[in-house]
């Protein structure tokens, strides 16, 4: 059985009414993991439905413009529905089917996880309810429309800061009431055990592919692997298969959080500015006040706008296996535009935080080094937000 803890982080802090559902899920996941048929099914969906392996791309023009180390991109934005979230949604939906639960609930921030969940529910004939903060409903209108098209019901959440944290609270409330029929398909590598482990495993396909593709294309491993961190699922997915290389001193991992509008303003930089505590069933780093009350978070990118983070990242940080930095809204926008103009790739605002830091790293490194950036999603969903930020009217 896998441990519920990552060092002092993780665990399962839940109401009594949810204990049985978590035990059932943990057992079902352990059985599925040991079942070659389940693994075969997962592989089949990655290839035939999601479109993997996604490309590992040498961004030569961006490399030239930055003028340092080689920049390579893991193009997870090419996955079906436009982001990495679908890997986890497929895995958990298959698991829900195994335990006979046909009603799926999920929370979403940027809407990408909501779209991924609505997609797999359509594919597998399941009922789908998506909780989404009212602020996010407004800034991600297009994704709300996509979810509706896919047959899902989107419920705007108007409590608290009306963003991801509040949507998770609402989804947890629903789960407590409907636990017998319902699976809560958590969209990131956080929550009570076994969610952080399970989501990591479903997303590790990104790192496994990237590692093999890098060896095949360059004959060596990257010097740095860089990924944005909201709840932490794309980052842990790309990081995890490199952990042994980190221990051997060949690869370094860097997680990039949202630093917000400017130094000292509200942000979502949980690992760089937070302190340990318990939120949404897990012990991890949090943005909180001295009484343990959760602070509001803020970022231009809805998908990073969360005051917590997956517990495995807290452990990676504290053990020095990974480093975490914060990138500001305008820096992410600058990187988004630089990548778009140099390579013809419009990345998501979330991923653009990683792009910015990856470019800064590359600039300082010699040409024979390699920086691998995980492009977790595509930017189509962010066009309204960006246009507004740049003062351009698009509708």
Active centre residues (catalytic): 85, 107, 376
Which backbone phi and psi does 174 adopt, to 5 degrees?
A: -60, -45
Which residue's CB is nearer to ligand PLP, number 83 or number 185? Answer: 83
Which residue's CB is nearer to ligand PLP, number 171 or number 235? Answer: 235
**Which one among 11, 109, 194, 222 touches ligand PLP, defined by CB under 6 A?**
109
Cis peptide before 194 (omega within 30 of 0): yes
Residue 377 binding ligand PLP, by CB under 6 A: yes
Task: Identify residues 343-362 at the interface with ligand PLP (CB under 6 A).
Answer: 348, 350-351
CB of 371 to ligand PLP, least distance (A): 18
Which residue's CB is nearer to ligand PLP, number 228 or number 279? Answer: 228
β partners of residue 71: 371
**Which one among 70, 87, 188, 270 touches ligand PLP, defined by CB under 6 A?**
188
Residue 233 binding ligand PLP, by CB under 6 A: yes
Residue 230 binding ligand PLP, by CB under 6 A: yes
**Which one among 186, 228, 326, 361 touches ligand PLP, defined by CB under 6 A?**
228
Tokens at 84, concatenated: 């990495």
Residue 231 binding ligand PLP, by CB under 6 A: yes
Which backbone phi and psi does 156 adopt, to 5 degrees?
A: -70, 140
Size of the site for ligand PLP (CB under 6 A): 21
**Cα–Cα distance measured from residue 301 to residue 386, given in angstroms and rounded to the nearest whole number:** 10
Q: Which residues contact 156 (CB under 8 A, 6 or more apart)?
A: 132, 133, 134, 137
Percent helix, strand and coil across the chain, each rounded to 5?
50, 20, 30
**Cα–Cα distance measured from residue 387 to residue 395, given in angstroms and rounded to the nearest whole number:** 10
Residue 110 binding ligand PLP, by CB under 6 A: yes
Tell me the C-alpha to C-alpha distance, in Å, between residue 243 and each of 236, 249, 367. Answer: 10, 10, 24
| Beta-strand pair 103-108/252-260 | unpaired
Task: Identify residues 48-87 at the interface with ligand PLP (CB under 6 A).
Answer: 83
**Which one among 22, 74, 113, 283 touches ligand PLP, defined by CB under 6 A?**
113
DSSP secondary structure code for residue 254 in this structure: E
Helix (H) or strand (E) holding 74: strand 70-75
**Which one among 274, 303, 307, 358 touches ligand PLP, defined by CB under 6 A?**
303
**Which one among 112, 267, 268, 355 touches ligand PLP, defined by CB under 6 A?**
112
**Cα–Cα distance measured from residue 172 to residue 279, given in angstroms and rounded to the nearest whole number:** 12
Residue 282 binding ligand PLP, by CB under 6 A: no
Contacts with ligand PLP, residue ranges (CB under 6 A): 83, 109-110, 112-113, 188, 228-235, 303-304, 348, 350-351, 376-377
């Amino acid at each position: 059985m896998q441990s519920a803890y990552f060092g002092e982080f993780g665990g399962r802090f839940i109401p009594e009414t949810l204990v049985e559902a978590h035990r059932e899920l943990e057992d079902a996941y352990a059985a599925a993991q040991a079942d070659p048929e389940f693994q075969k099914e997962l592989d089949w969906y990655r290839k035939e439905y999601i479109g993997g392996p996604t490309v590992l791309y040498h961004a030569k023009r961006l490399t030239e413009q930055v003028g340092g180390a080689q920049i390579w991109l893991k193009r997870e934005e090419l996955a079906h529905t436009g982001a990495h979230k679908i890997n986890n949604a497929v895995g958990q939906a298959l698991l829900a089917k195994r335990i006979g639960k046909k009603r799926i609930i999920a929370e979403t921030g940027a809407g990408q996880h909501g779209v991924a969940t609505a997609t797999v529910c359509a594919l597998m004939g399941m009922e789908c309810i998506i909780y989404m903060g009212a602020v996010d409903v407004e800034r991600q209108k297009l994704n709300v429309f996509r979810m509706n098209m896919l047959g899902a019901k989107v419920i705007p959440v108007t409590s608290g800061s009306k963003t991801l944290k509040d949507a998770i609270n609402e989804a947890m409330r629903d789960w407590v009431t409907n636990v017998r029929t319902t699976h809560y398909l958590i969209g990131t590598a956080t929550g009570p055990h076994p969610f952080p482990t399970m989501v990591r495993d479903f997303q590790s396909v990104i790192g496994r592919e990237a590692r093999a593709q890098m060896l095949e294309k360059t004959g060596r491993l990257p010097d740095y692997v860089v990924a944005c961190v909201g709840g932490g699922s794309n980052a842990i997915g790309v990081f995890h298969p490199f952990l042994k290389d980190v221990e051997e001193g060949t690869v370094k991992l860097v997680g990039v959080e949202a630093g917000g509008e400017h130094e000292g303003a509200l942000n979502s930089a949980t690992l760089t500015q937070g302190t340990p505590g318990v939120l949404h069933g897990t012990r991890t780093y949090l943005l909180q006040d001295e009484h343990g009350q959760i602070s509001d978070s803020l970022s231009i990118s809805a998908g990073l706008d969360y005051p917590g983070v997956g517990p495995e990242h807290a452990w990676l940080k504290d053990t020095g296996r990974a480093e975490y930095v914060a990138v500001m809204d305008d820096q992410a926008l600058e990187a988004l535009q630089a990548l778009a103009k140099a390579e013809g790739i419009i990345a998501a605002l979330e991923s653009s935080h990683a792009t910015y830091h990856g470019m800064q790293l590359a600039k300082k490194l010699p040409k024979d080094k390699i920086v691998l950036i995980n492009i977790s999603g595509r930017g189509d969903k962010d066009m309204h937000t960006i246009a507004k930020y740049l003062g351009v009217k698009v509708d």
